[in-house]
Amino acid sequence: EVQLVESGGGLVQPGGSLRLSCAASGFTFSSYWMHWVRQAPGKGLVWVSRIKSDESSTNYADSVKGRFTISRDNGKNTLYLQMNSLRAEDTAVYYCARTRIAVRDAFDIWGQGTMVTVSS
Amino acid sequence: DIVMTQSPDSLAVSLGERATIDCKSSQSLLYSSNNKDYLAWYQQKPGQPPKLLIYWASTRESGVPDRFSGSGSGTDFTLTISSLQAEDVAVYYCQQYYSTPMTFGQGTRLEIK
């Protein structure tokens, strides 16, 4: 079964750090671009970041640039999001998602999400 | 950034009736070299992740019922549910993947009348 499973969320104080993980299974992880998308409570979907299949290219939303770092370990079939200098407005469910086929393509597989709460 | 605007924000439709959601982009999503529109539609039910329904503006994802259809090109797109079923109650999002940031519309909440 094709599956993405996020972990690493939790409660963190403003200014703190957290690393999210997304474990992939059931497909050739190293062949796909991967993304992080977040959703604040009761709000819509916001794209956060993406990474190329071989980790040679990354992109970020302006709101997280310089604070978040996307990475992957193709040997472990795992995607990561290192989040530093966290702010209250980063509070959200964070989803990892797979790009369907091409570099610019829809997101066909999504994880169940992991909740990040930034609060003192 | 490309801004995606959906209308309406919420919609109530009777069972068996047609539901239509519009999505407008601030710039064309049509890539001239392959004549494809870089537009997707997702369905999100409470407590669940989004589910891909439509990509390339009108191609139905495998396993998606044929009552769901997408149309439009350039900057104006529509998601149509031909005969609303109870299980279609959800929030629907359009998304452009033409360029980063890959922006989503604000969502349309679909309910049963």
CB contact under 8 A, A59 and B107: no
CA distances from A82 to A17, A34, B104 (A): 7, 15, 23
Rounded to whole angstroms, how far apart are CA atoms A92 and A46?
10
State yes or no: pLDDT of B35 exceeds 90.
yes
**Three-class SS state of B13:** strand
Q: A69 vs chain B: nearest CA distance in angstroms?
A: 15
The string of pLDDT tens digits covering residues B80-97 is: 999 999 999 999 999 999
State yes or no: pLDDT of A102 exceeds 90.
no
The string of pLDDT tens digits covering residues A30-79 is: 999 999 999 999 999 999 999 999 999 999 999 999 999 999 999 999 99
pLDDT for B15 equals 98
Amino acid at A111: G
pLDDT for A33 equals 96
Amino acid at B7: S
Nearest to B38 among A95, A104, A110 (CB): A104
Q: Is A66 left (phi over 0), alpha (psi -120 to 50) or beta?
A: left
Residues of A with CB under 8 A from a CB of B: 35, 37, 44-47, 50, 59, 61-62, 95, 100, 104-108, 110-113
A61 vs B contacts (CB less than 8 Å): 101
Mean pLDDT, chain B, rounded, equals 97
Q: Which residues contact A28 (CB under 8 A, 6 or more apart)?
A: none
State yes or no: pLDDT of A101 exceeds 90.
no
Q: Which of B50, B4, B103 is nearest to A63 (CA)?
A: B103
Confidence of residue A103 (pLDDT cuts 50, 70, 90): confident
The string of pLDDT tens digits covering residues B52-61 is: 999 999 999 9
